[in-house]
Structure 1
Amino acid sequence: MNIEEIFIDIVVLFAGIFAALMGVYLVLKKDIQQFFNLKTIEITKENRAHLLPLRLQAHERLIIFIDRINPANLLVRLHQQGIGIATLQAGILNEVRSEFEHNITQQLYVDNIAWNVVRKLKDDTIAMINNAVQGLPADANGIELSKAILQHMASINENPYDLTIDLIKKDIQQLF
């Protein structure tokens, strides 16, 4: 035997092995795909079981966040006798921003629409506080700011804080 014959025998052997493996793959292709699909489904079911409590907790935390940034609740918590307008404004804005930062990771577990509404509510709250301050004289006090904010809230037909909570509740209902 010379080298050419050995080389031809090796090529024929590898071609036969390759053809046999391809045949086995084609026969078992559907079974292999089904196995990996079932594995994916099992993992997804496990993830859903673990994610549900986290998603519910995120919704709960967002409802608490919305309640805490509601101006009626903010003013009760932050208002002190004789507080100045600038001090009250800074306290309110700081409270809203820190509450939002504390809950920012909850966006992972809620619907994008719900999260965008919560973020817009935060931005609108900050804008409302700043606008109320701009509408008051420079020598106004915290009581006057509180009155201006509460009057603005009373003039709104539908309370945006209640509407946002209702949206969060609807998002929760989609989980079941």
Structure 2
Amino acid sequence: MQDQLINLLIYTVPAVVTGVIAYFFFKEHIKNENNRRHFLMHKDFKKEALPMRLQAYERMTLFLERIVPSKLLIRVAPLSSDKNDYERLLIDSIEQEFEHNLSQQIYLTSDCWSIILAAKNTTIQLILKANMSEKTDNANKLREVILTEMMEKQAPSSTALAYIKEEISAIW
């Protein structure tokens, strides 16, 4: 009986050891294959997503250029002499342009999107502040006050444009 048990162990132990080694080998092999497939899919995704990301940066650059107050005032002329109507027209133009590009945020980093949002809001605040000025009594005077303000300082969107350029250079 003891000889049979020893014979059984002599044949069983190497088989169990071989089975355990094979199990760990195949487990590691499957893990490596999954990692390789994941890497290849990620690489293909990046190759396809890069043009879309660049297009999003382009569109947001165009948005920021369009909301530079001096360019906005040239593009959006007052419809009447009422300063409040013109203020609303300018803000609506900025908001409409922003909403048109809202979906681009999925291709940008959250920091970049936050800076673009801050540039938009700061530009709107600049228009609101200019409208509340005592010097402003009609739409043309509002234009003058905004342009005078922009001569003294940099447009809010220039900071966001610099950040976009920095992010694009990091991609390359």
Instruction: State the TM-score, normalizing by the size of structure 2.
Output: 0.83
1:108-131: CA deviations, max 9, x gaps?
Answer: 111221111100011111111111
**Structure 2 stretches of 5 or more lacking a match?**
1-16
- Post-superposition shift, 1:74? 0.9
RMSD between superposed Cα atoms in Å: 2.1
Equivalent residue, structure 2, for 1:134: 132
- Post-superposition shift, 1:23? 5.7
Equivalent residue, structure 1, for 2:169: 173
- Post-superposition shift, 1:144? 0.4
1:38-59: CA deviations, max 9, x gaps?
Answer: 0000000000001000000000
1:64-109: CA deviations, max 9, x gaps?
Answer: 0001111111111112475321121011010111111111111111
Decide whether aligned partners of structure 1 residues 38 and 135 sit closer, same or farther in structure 2, where only a CA change above 3 A counts.
same
Is residue 95 of structure 1 aligned with residue 93 of structure 2?
yes
Equivalent residue, structure 2, for 1:143: 140
Whether the 8 Å CA contact 2:120–2:157 is kept in 1: the answer is: no
Decide whether aligned partners of structure 1 residues 21 and 93 sit closer, same or farther in structure 2, where only a CA change above 3 A counts.
farther
Decide whether aligned partners of structure 1 residues 160 and 120 sit closer, same or farther in structure 2, where only a CA change above 3 A counts.
same
- Post-superposition shift, 1:29? 1.3
Q: Which amino acid aligns with 2:158?
A: D
Whether the 8 Å CA contact 1:136–1:145 is kept in 2: the answer is: no
- Post-superposition shift, 1:170? 1.1
Q: Which amino acid aligns with 2:139?
A: G
Correspondence for 1:120 among 118, 134, 142: 118
Is residue 154 of structure 1 aligned with residue 151 of structure 2?
yes
Count of residues paired in the alignment = 157
Query: Following TM superposition, where does structure 1 have runs of at least 4 consecutive aligned residues deviating by more than 6 angstroms?
Result: 19-22
**Structure 1 stretches of 5 or more lacking a match?**
1-18
* 1:71-90 to 2 correspondences below 5 Å: 71-80=69-78, 83-90=81-88
Looking at structure 2, the residues matched to 98 and 25 of structure 1 have their Cα atoms a distance apart, in angstroms, of 61
Q: Which amino acid aligns with 2:121?
A: D
Equivalent residue, structure 1, for 2:14: none
Looking at structure 1, the residues matched to 109 and 79 of structure 2 have their Cα atoms a distance apart, in angstroms, of 41
Whether the 8 Å CA contact 1:79–1:142 is kept in 2: the answer is: no
Is residue 63 of structure 1 aligned with residue 61 of structure 2?
yes
Decide whether aligned partners of structure 1 residues 91 and 81 sit closer, same or farther in structure 2, where only a CA change above 3 A counts.
closer
Instruction: State the TM-score, normalizing by the size of structure 1.
Output: 0.81
Equivalent residue, structure 2, for 1:6: none
Percent identity at matched positions? 28
- Post-superposition shift, 1:137? 5.9
SS at match of 1:174: helix
